[in-house]
Homo-oligomer: A and B are copies of this chain.
Amino acid sequence: MTGSFTLPGESGYEKLTLELQKKWGADCIRDSDGTQLSDEITGSGVPIYSTICLIRSINSWAREHTEFLQRNFLMSKPVMAEGGTVEIRPLQGYFTQQFIINPDDPVSLWQVYDRTSGREHTDWDWDGEKVTVRNACPYHLYTVNFLATRIWEEISMYNHITNDWGDREHLMAVEPRYPETQKALLDFLDGWLKAHPHTGVVRLTSMFYNFTWIWGSSSRQRDILSDWGSYDFTVNPVSLSEFEKEYGYKMTSEDFINMGRHNPTHNPPTKKLRDWIEFTGRFVRSFGRQCVDLVHAYGKKAYVFYDDSWIGIEPWSGHFGEFNFDGLIKCVFNAFEARLCAGVKEVKIHELRLHPYLFPTGLGGEPTFAPGGHPERDARRFWACVRRALLRVKIDRIGLGGYLHLTQGFPEFNDEIARIADEFRLLKSLHEKGAPWVSGIKIGILQSWGSLRTWNCAGHMHEHPELPLNHIHEALAGLPVELRSVSLEEVKQSGVPKGIDVLINAGREGDAWSGGDIWKDADLKANIYKFVLSGGGFIGVKEPGCVRNEMRAFALADILGVDLEQGATICKGKYAFDVTREHFITRGLPAPAFTNATKGVYALDGDTKVLYADGDNVTAAATERKKGRTVYLSGFNYDFNNTRLLYRAILWAAHKESLENTYATANPACECACFEESNTLIVINNAETTETTKVFTPKGEYEFTLEGGGTKIVTI
């Protein structure tokens, strides 16, 4: 079997490129950002995939037109007034290779705030160097919200600094809201398309706006703010004024600055922020579609790489089809990212960029393709993470990224990729013969964002490994369940959507995944009470629906059977629970040690079955309320046993205990899927050690021994 594999070609290594193309069964070759394929490769007859990142592609034009660079609001460091006058230098503490004060019209959009009183302060001026605040209140803290122009595109900046690129050109991100910029970009793209006749697929490195990445001047605090889902970089005078025209109200600097917190994805969005996201998304899709149409006009396909400049691209927004992309490429560390990609119905081709990248070092600086590196082990490990999802959903292509020549000293890696490519093609072929068995259980992930953030929070797992929802996604990605994200607003207004069997809310007090103060709303609570009492399942993780100054800390305590001691009820005695030893959910599993567990959770009364406890702290509980069932977990991190625990909790909450042994492995380190139409049972070992497992099927039990990371396929 060959095909379905995208190889990163490398100029100067033509022989290697074509050798590995054969070894890995690659059916197309792509260039990478920063590499250009030679004629020998482009003329080899193998289809060519070419990479473009539009907004940093016209740097000489950008240097001439700095008025069309991207902008964003920043907040100065707070300065304390000692008398009635305060001087503030806005850029102090920011990385001045990334930011300059926006040179044109610098103050009309600025705001000064008294952060001690929380009020805007209007008596100030700017002399080109500093803001002078007059009539300040002594011993209050003042800040300036100001508009900065970005003079270094963040990915260029990161790669340049990380790889010590010296005097290589700093690329700049142009602002596509300006007609002049749009023209320059389309002209560039048109010229590029003409100049690349061999290219069959244009791979757009996302579209226009990078995720928010604000750097500081100090190497001790390089990241001032880093959020993979934030829209800070979409702000500029044009977008602000167009927004006001469309929405009838004005976004101020403070709407973005938000006391210096900005509006990271992990916090519940305001209505204004949602409007801004909708407004920006519409623009990104509209101008993005012009670019895609141009690509199509040259008879080429347009794929999008969902990373870096992904703001406005979100493939689960419900509007992704408007781009008219032909393919979606997702770089994956984890199974949930494979699900994120595979589930997008608006494109035909779903491709995964596997790890490790062909770079000397990994994300944490550890050697990969460098002395001491074991890229073959890394590849096997990453593949074992991702593969779980591919038992459940079909992916069309895989590929690698980086510098091919680095593989030269690592023949075991090349063998491992060949094996992985074959295993991938086998999995794909199974899906093509007919879908695998699924439990039919539909999970609703209840959070603040709804479908916009489906199968992810924001970004990758490693950016926020402490978030339980990242781990819940990861566990679910390999389970035979369907998932949709449901917004709290939607449930508040219209109840739990039909078809959902089990709702999961997993977060920390106040965050977007738990939900924040919307949980004080009576309709939201009543709609979920109704759902549960009528037979629905609910799983609350860590601090689900958690609020302050209400009767309960957990808004749903009365159905969850547990509540959280936040410090306001320390004088109230807690029910002295027993731990229930025998329960469907926990039978045979070790007690979980959730690394992100919340302490202080207690049982309301004896109707709550406490399944695990850490001293007086409830770790897991199960409660029945009329026809419905709820489960509480004090945290969640992905591992084999916890995944099994979650699946059992889902089955129990959905009243589907009978499915426990339908195509299931006895050993939680192993998972299986049955493609019933082709009578094929596939069993995988997710562990690095050899594992033995029974597999239960409606046709009987089987026993398998699999080497670490191994796979077995049998006809049943």
Contact = CB atoms under 8 A, between A and B. Distances in A.
A118 B567 contact: no
B558 A78 contact: yes
Top 4 closest pairs, chain A to chain B, by CB? A223-B573, A139-B526, A117-B522, A264-B571
Interface stretch (A170-178, A224-232, A480-488, A670-678): A224-232
A511 B117 contact: no
Interface string A528-572: 011001000000000000001011000000100000001111111
Interface in A99-122: 114-118
B526 A137 contact: yes
A262 interface: yes
Contacts of A575: 218, 220-221
A319 interface: no
A82 B533 contact: yes
A530 B101 CA distance: 32
Contacts of A227: 571
B115 A510 contact: no
Given A230-B571, A260-B551, A466-B570, 10 more contacts: A78-B551, A80-B558, A82-B533, A139-B529, A220-B575, A221-B575, A224-B572, A227-B571, A509-B566, A511-B568
A119 to B, nearest CB: 8
11 contacts: A218-B575, A220-B575, A221-B576, A226-B571, A260-B551, A262-B571, A265-B571, A266-B571, A466-B570, A508-B567, A510-B548
Contacts of A511: 567-568
A606 interface: yes
Interface in A296-338: none
A608 to B, nearest CB: 11
B526 A140 contact: yes
Interface string A514-528: 000000101001110
Interface string A666-701: 000000000000000000000000000000000000
Contacts of A579: none
A182 interface: no
A138 B80 CA distance: 52
Contacts of A464: 570
B527 A573 contact: no
A508 to B, nearest CB: 4
A414 interface: no
Given A220-B606, A259-B550, A510-B548, A140 B571 contact: no
A1 to B, nearest CB: 43
Interface string A571-588: 111111100000000000
Contact of A551 (B259, B520, B522, B577): B259
A649 interface: no
B267 A568 contact: yes
Contacts of A430: none
B605 A510 contact: no
A508 B511 CA distance: 20
Interface string A694-711: 000000000000000000
Contacts of A572: 223-225, 261
Contacts of A259: 550-551
Nearest to A529: B139
A428 interface: no
A52 interface: no
Q: Which of A114, A522, A571 has the largest count of B CB atoms less than 10 A from its CB?
A: A571
Contacts of A567: 266, 508-511
Main secondary structure of the interface of A (DSSP, over half): loop
A140 to B, nearest CB: 6
A201 interface: no
A592 interface: no
A222 interface: yes
Contacts of A576: 220-221
A549 to B, nearest CB: 8
Given A138-B530, A216-B573, A568-B511, A116 B226 contact: no
A141 interface: yes
Contact of A568 (B137, B261, B527): B261
Contacts of A116: 522, 525-526, 529
Q: Which of A212, A466, A510, A567 has the largest count of B CB atoms less than 10 A from its CB?
A: A567
Contacts of A265: 571
A605 B221 contact: yes
Given A118-B550, A226-B573, A573-B216, A140 B522 contact: yes
A100 to B, nearest CB: 21
Nearest to A509: B567
Interface string A64-102: 000000000000001010100000000000000000000
Interface in A345-366: none
B262 A139 contact: no
Contacts of A117: 522
Q: Which of A226, A566, A569 has the largest count of B CB atoms less than 10 A from its CB?
A: A569
Nearest to A268: B568
Nearest to A526: B139
A568 B510 contact: yes
Contacts of A221: 573-576, 605
A222 B573 contact: yes
Contacts of A216: 573
Contacts of A262: 571
A467 to B, nearest CB: 8
A615 to B, nearest CB: 13
A230 B605 CA distance: 25
Contacts of A82: 533, 626
Contacts of A466: 570
A551 B115 contact: yes
Interface string A200-238: 000000000000100010101111111100100000000
A290 B673 CA distance: 84
Nearest to A566: B510
A385 B570 CA distance: 26
A606 B217 CA distance: 13
Interface string A361-398: 00000000000000000000000000000000000000
A561 to B, nearest CB: 13
Contacts of A533: 80, 82, 139
Q: Which of A140, A218, A266, A572 has the largest count of B CB atoms less than 10 A from its CB?
A: A572
B118 A80 contact: no
Nearest to A513: B567
